Amino acid sequence: MQCPYIIIFDSECSFCNASVNFIFQRDPQGLFCFASMYSSVAQSLIQEQGLDTLDSDTIILIKDEHSYLRAEAVYEILGELETGWSFLRIFRYLGRSCNDALYRYIAKNRYRFFAKRLCLLPSEALRSRFLTDKS
């Protein structure tokens, strides 16, 4: 499967799963593919990018052979979505420390705020955009 952009996320987090669905619904061009952080595909990609010591609360975007982490990844993703979501990138100008502090607060509390597991089955169209060990 060829994807210009790959998002690696915590598949055990309902907020992360909801975020994948949000991105998928606003990505009609199919720019993004997704990989569970716990899959061997994701682990290989993480090692290739030299990101061996990441926590499960880190979203990773691989775009043009470059990796973006945490808030930086979120802003890069928003910039690619249709229907005007890129305007939220203005918050990037708050600075990396402020953005990462907010990201880390949400990430640290994501299971408390959003539960651990979302039990919805993805549609066939969404499943086709997941990178798996068999991809």
Q: Residues 31-76: pLDDT tens digits?
A: 999 999 999 999 999 999 999 777 778 899 999 889 999 999 999 9
| pLDDT attached to residue 5 | 97
Instruction: Please give the C-alpha separations between residue 31 and each of 13, 61, 116, in angstroms, as whole numbers.
Output: 23, 12, 27
| pLDDT attached to residue 118 | 52
* Residue 9 CB-density burial (10 A; 0-12 exposed, 13-18 middle, 19+ buried): buried
Whether 134 is in a domain gets the answer no
Whether 132 is in a domain gets the answer no
Residue 109 clears pLDDT 60, i.e. is over it: yes
Whether 57 is in a domain gets the answer yes
User: In the chain, how many domains are there?
Assistant: 1
Range of the domain at 83: 5-127
Whether 38 is in a domain gets the answer yes
pTM assigned to the model: 0.85
Whether 46 is in a domain gets the answer yes
